[in-house]
C-alpha cells in the first residue's frame, strides 16, 4: 500500500475498484433498483446522481454491505461484499471510509477522540503517533483548533468536516460520500468541494459521491452515473452528460422544473379539485 | 373472516420472528472475547446504569422497609406477635419486594434511558457509522450495557434489601418500641441463607437479564424517528414491568410453592 510505484501504476490503470452487477433491491412492495450495473474505476471520483428518492443512499448502503440485495452482486477489490462473513465484512470495511449526511459523529466523544476512534480500534499505535495522525487529519480539514469541542458545539459544516477527517483517519482506499453538499452554506460548500478533490488527488483514493447538487458534483467528478426509476439512465464524463440528448437527463442536469419527470405529484385535475364537492381536504 | 385469520397468523409470525431476532441479538452481543477496552466501557456503563440508580433504589428501599414495619406491627400487635416483626420484614423483602421492586425501578430509571440512548444513536446514524468504521456496535455499544445491567441490578437489589431491613428496624424498634433483641434474633433464626437470600438473588439475576435485554433490544430495533424512540421507551418500561411481574409469579411458584 505504501509502495509508491505500484500504487501509482495501479492508479493509472483505471482498473475497476467497485463493480455492481445486476443489482435488484426492493423495500417492502416498492422496487428501488431493477438491474443496476456500475463500474467504479480505481483512483477516480465517480458521482452517482439522480432526483431525490431514487435510492442513492440505499445504493451506498448496498455497496457498504449494510443492506443485502435481492439479486445481483457488489464486488469491492474483487471480493463479493454480500458473500462475506460478518467478520470478513468488518475487515473489508476498514479499507473504506464513509461520510454520512448527518456526519454521524459519536456524541459521547469530543472532536479529537472521534477522529482517533478508528485508529484506536484498528491499530496498536502509541498515543504520540495517534496524536500526530489525528492532528494531521484535522489540519487537512482545517479544524485542528477545534479538537476539544464536542459534536454538539459544531456547526453542520464543521461536523461534516470532522466526519471527513474521521473517514480518512485510516487512509482508506475507498471513500463513500453521502450527499456531502446538502444543507451547506456557500463557503463550507466550496471548502468541501475542494477538500474532496484535493484528498483524491493527494491520496489517490477511489471516491463515490452521491449527490443531487449538479454544479458542485460535476465540477469534481471524473465519471457520472445518473440513476432514475431504479436503473442507470445515463453515464459518462461530465462533459458528455452536459450535451446528452435524452430529455430526462437534460431535465435533471439543467435543472428544469417540468419535463419527463413531472413537477407535480400525481393528482386529479386541478380545476376539478378546486371545485370538487364532497371532499373537504 | 379469512382476512382476520390471516392477520392473526401474520401477527403470530411477526412476533415469533422478533423473538428470534432478539434471541440472536442477545447471543451475539453477550458472548465475545473480553478486552481491556471492553472492561473500560463496562465500568463506564456500571456508573450510568448502576451508580446513578443507587439513590432511587435505596430511598425506595428505606420507605418500603418502613411501611412494611408499620403495617406489620399494627396487625401483629393484635395477636401479641410483634416480636415476629423482624422475621416478617426480612422475609417479605428478601423473597419478594427487593428483587421485584428494584427491578421495576431499574426498568423505569435505567431501562428507559438505555433504550432512548441506543435509539438516538441509531437515529443519528452513529451505529451505522460505527459499522462502517469496522466496529461491531453489538460488541461496542450493546454488550457493555447488557453486562452492566446484568451485574448492577443484583447489587442494587442487595442494597435495597439491606436498607429496607434497616428501615423496618427504625420504625419497628426505634419508634414503635419492639424489643431490639427479638427483631434481630427472630430474623436470624428464621431466614435461611440459601432458601431466602439465595432465591431472592436468583430472581434478581433473572430480572436483570430480562429487563436489560428488553431495554437494549428495544433501543437497537426501534424505528429511528422521534415517534419511534418515544414508543420504544414506553414499550421498554411496559414490557419489562410485565415480564418481571409474570416471571416473579413463575419463579415464586417454583421456589416457594412446593412445585419443585
CA distance A181 to A196: 11
Return the pLDDT at B67.
96
CA distance B143 to B36: 14
CB atoms within 10 A of CB A209: 28
Model confidence pLDDT, tens digit, residues B83-128? 899 999 999 999 999 999 999 999 999 999 999 999 999 988 898 8
Nearest neighbour of A98 by CB, restricted to B121, B124, B132: B132
Minimal CA separation from A118 to chain B, in Å: 6
Return the pLDDT at B58.
96
- Residue A37: in which H helix or E strand, if any? strand A30-41
| Interface contact flag, A102 B130, Cβ < 8 Å | no
Domain ranges of chain B: 36-254
Alpha carbon B66 to chain centroid, angstroms: 22
Concatenate the DSSP letters of all residues of A134-190 into one string.
Answer: HHHHHHHTT-GGGTT--GGGS-HHHHHHHHHHHHTTT--SEEEEESTTTT--HHHHH
- A 64-93 residues with CB below 8 A of B? 64, 66, 86, 90-91, 93
Alpha carbon of B130 to those of A52, A97, A121, A137, B135: distances in Å? 26, 11, 11, 19, 5
Answer yes or no: are the C-beta atoms of A84 and A261 closer than 8 Å: no
For residue B101, the number of C-alpha atoms closer than 13 Å in the C-beta half-sphere is: 22
A235: which DSSP letter?
A: E
Answer yes or no: are the C-beta atoms of A63 and A40 closer than 8 Å: no
Segment-wise mean pLDDT, segments of 10 residues, chain A, 281 residues: 44 71 85 87 88 82 87 88 85 86 86 91 88 90 87 86 88 88 80 85 86 84 86 83 74 72 77 73 64
C-alpha cell at A174: 475507498
Return the pLDDT at B217.
94
Return the pLDDT at B49.
93
β-pair partners for A206: A174
Return the pLDDT at A278.
59
CA-CA-CA-CA torsion sign (A108, A113, A114, A117): negative
Nearest neighbour of A121 by CB, restricted to B121, B132, B135: B135
- Give the SS3 label for residue A52: coil
B15 near A CB under 8 A: no
CA distance A281 to B39: 58
Return the pLDDT at A261.
67
Alpha carbon of A207 to those of A64, A69, A181, A196: distances in Å? 13, 22, 15, 8
Return the pLDDT at A3.
43
Angle between helices B54-76 and B85-92 (to 10 degrees): 140
pTM of full prediction above 0.90: no
Nearest neighbour of B124 by CB, restricted to A93, A104, A122: A104
| Interface contact flag, B133 A104, Cβ < 8 Å | no
C-alpha cell at A170: 485510516
Residues B176-186 have a mean pLDDT of 91
ipTM: 0.73
C-alpha cell at A176: 463513500
Length of chain B: 260
E strands, B21-151, where? none
Neighbour order of strands in the sheet with A79-80: A30-41, A16-27, A71-76, A79-80
Cβ burial, residue A234 (10 Å; 0-12/13-18/19+)? buried
Model confidence pLDDT, tens digit, residues B19-78? 898 888 888 888 877 788 889 999 999 999 999 999 999 999 999 999 999 999 999 999
Answer yes or no: are the C-beta atoms of B240 and B208 closer than 8 Å: no
B39 Rama class: left (phi>0) / alpha (psi -120 to 50) / beta: alpha
Minimal CA separation from A86 to chain B, in Å: 9
A196 Rama class: left (phi>0) / alpha (psi -120 to 50) / beta: alpha
Model confidence pLDDT, tens digit, residues B136-176? 888 889 999 999 999 999 999 999 999 999 999 999 999 99
CA distance B10 to B77: 58
Answer yes or no: are the C-beta atoms of B64 and B164 closer than 8 Å: yes
Return the pLDDT at A8.
44
Amino acid at each position: 500500500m505504501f509502495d509508491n510505484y505500484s500504487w501509482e501504476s495501479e492508479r493509472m490503470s483505471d482498473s475497476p475498484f467497485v463493480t455492481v452487477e445486476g443489482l435488484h433491491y426492493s423495500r417492502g412492495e416498492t422496487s428501488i433498483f431493477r438491474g443496476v450495473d456500475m463500474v467504479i474505476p480505481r483512483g477516480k471520483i465517480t458521482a452517482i446522481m439522480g432526483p431525490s428518492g431514487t435510492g442513492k443512499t440505499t445504493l451506498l448502503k448496498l455497496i457498504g454491505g449494510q443492506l443485502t440485495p435481492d439479486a445481483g452482486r457488489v464486488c469491492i477489490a474483487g471480493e463479493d461484499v454480500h458473500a462475506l462473513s460478518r467478520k470478513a465484512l468488518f475487515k473489508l470495511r476498514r479499507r473504506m471510509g464513509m461520510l454520512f449526511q448527518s456526519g454521524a459523529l459519536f456524541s459521547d466523544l469530543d472532536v479529537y477522540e472521534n477522529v482517533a476512534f478508528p485508529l484506536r480500534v484498528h491499530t496498536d499505535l502509541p498515543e504520540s503517533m495517534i496524536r500526530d495522525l489525528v492532528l494531521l487529519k484535522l489540519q487537512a480539514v482545517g479544524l485542528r483548533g477545534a479538537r476539544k469541542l464536542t459534536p454538539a458545539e459544531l456547526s453542520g459544516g464543521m461536523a461534516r468536516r470532522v466526519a471527513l477527517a474521521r473517514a480518512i483517519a485510516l487512509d482508506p482506499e475507498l471513500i463513500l460520500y453521502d450527499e456531502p453538499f446538502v444543507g451547506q452554506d456557500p463557503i463550507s460548500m466550496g471548502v468541501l468541494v475542494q477538500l474532496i478533490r484535493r484528498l483524491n488527488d493527494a491520496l489517490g483514493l477511489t471516491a463515490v459521491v452521491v449527490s443531487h447538487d449538479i454544479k458542485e458534483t460535476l465540477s469534481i467528478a471524473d465519471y457520472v452515473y445518473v440513476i432514475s426509476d431504479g436503473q442507470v439512465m445515463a453515464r459518462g464524463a461530465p462533459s458528455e452528460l452536459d450535451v446528452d440528448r435524452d430529455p430526462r437527463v437534460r431535465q435533471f442536469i439543467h435543472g428544469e422544473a417540468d419535463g419527463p419527470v413531472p413537477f407535480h405529484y400525481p393528482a386529479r385535475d386541478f380545476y376539478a379539485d378546486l371545485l370538487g364537492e364532497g371532499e373537504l381536504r | 373472516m379469512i382476512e382476520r385469520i390471516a392477520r392473526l397468523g401474520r401477527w403470530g409470525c411477526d412476533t415469533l420472528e422478533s423473538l428470534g431476532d432478539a434471541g440472536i441479538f442477545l447471543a451475539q452481543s453477550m458472548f465475545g472475547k473480553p478486552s481491556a477496552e471492553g472492561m473500560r466501557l463496562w465500568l463506564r456503563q456500571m456508573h450510568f446504569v448502576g451508580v446513578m440508580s443507587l439513590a432511587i433504589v435505596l430511598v425506595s428501599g428505606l420507605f418500603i422497609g418502613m411501611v412494611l414495619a408499620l403495617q406489620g406491627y399494627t396487625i401483629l400487635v393484635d395477636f401479641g406477635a410483634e416480636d415476629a416483626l423482624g422475621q416478617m420484614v426480612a422475609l417479605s423483602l428478601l423473597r419478594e419486594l427487593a428483587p421485584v421492586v428494584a427491578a421495576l425501578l431499574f426498568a423505569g430509571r435505567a431501562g428507559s434511558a438505555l433504550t432512548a440512548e441506543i435509539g438516538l444513536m441509531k437515529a443519528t446514524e452513529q451505529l451505522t457509522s460505527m459499522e462502517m468504521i469496522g466496529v461491531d456496535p453489538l460488541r461496542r455499544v450493546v454488550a457493555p450495557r447488557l453486562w452492566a445491567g446484568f451485574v448492577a441490578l443484583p447489587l442494587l437489589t442487595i442494597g435495597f434489601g439491606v436498607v429496607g431491613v434497616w428501615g423496618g428496624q427504625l420504625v419497628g424498634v426505634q419508634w414503635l418500641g419492639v424489643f431490639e433483641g427479638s427483631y434481630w434474633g427472630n430474623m436470624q433464626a428464621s431466614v435461611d441463607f440459601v432458601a431466602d437470600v439465595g432465591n431472592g438473588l436468583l430472581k434478581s439475576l433473572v430480572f436483570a437479564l430480562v429487563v436489560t435485554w428488553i431495554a437494549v433490544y428495544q433501543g437497537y430495533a426501534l424505528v429511528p424517528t422521534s415517534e419511534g424512540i418515544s414508543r420504544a421507551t414506553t414499550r421498554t418500561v411496559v414490557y419489562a414491568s410485565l415480564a418481571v411481574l409474570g416471571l416473579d409469579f413463575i419463579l415464586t411458584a417454583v421456589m416457594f410453592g412446593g412445585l419443585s
